[in-house]
A = this chain, B = another copy of it.
């Protein structure tokens, strides 16, 4: 696979590989409306594991009404400004069994989600929890 970006005076960076535009903040143009590279990394982690989890729960015939995922992180102060941690929060509405959700998340975060496991393999702490219809659960 190959992706590409180009410098743009108004935006910062914008993808130019023929797929849907992704606009990225850079420090020369400095527009905060666009996600930074590290924010994109967090989003890639969230999308990667969410894909696994939704596919697994669909196979289990769970009736998911809506799904969101929040991914939080913080960069250390010294260079290179690695993430100190990443925290993934899976948020379901619908008829979802908590044990099945925990199983799906654990499977993704230990066996399938290559992006999150890459970050974890780099020594960064990646934690996760989930919420179903407003109730929070830990994954053990």
Task: Report how many copies the assembly holds.
Answer: 2
Q: For residue A71, give the distance in angstroms from its CB to the closest CB of chain B.
A: 5
The A94-111 residues at the B interface (CB cut-off 8 A) are: 111
Q: How many residues of A contact B (CB 8 A)?
A: 70
Q: For residue A76, give the distance in angstroms from its CB to the closest CB of chain B.
A: 9
Q: For residue A27, give the distance in angstroms from its CB to the closest CB of chain B.
A: 6
Interchain CB contact (< 8 A) of A42 among B3, B6, B117: B3
Q: Which residues of chain B are within 8 angstroms of A28 by Cβ–Cβ distance?
A: 51, 54-55, 58
Q: A7-B50, A37-B47, A80-B113 are in contact. List 11 more A-B contacts (CB 8 A).
A: A1-B38, A5-B46, A13-B69, A17-B70, A22-B40, A24-B44, A26-B54, A37-B48, A41-B115, A119-B122, A120-B122
Can you list 8 pairs linking A and B with CB atoms under 8 Å apart? Answer: A1-B73, A7-B50, A7-B64, A15-B35, A41-B41, A75-B114, A80-B113, A118-B122
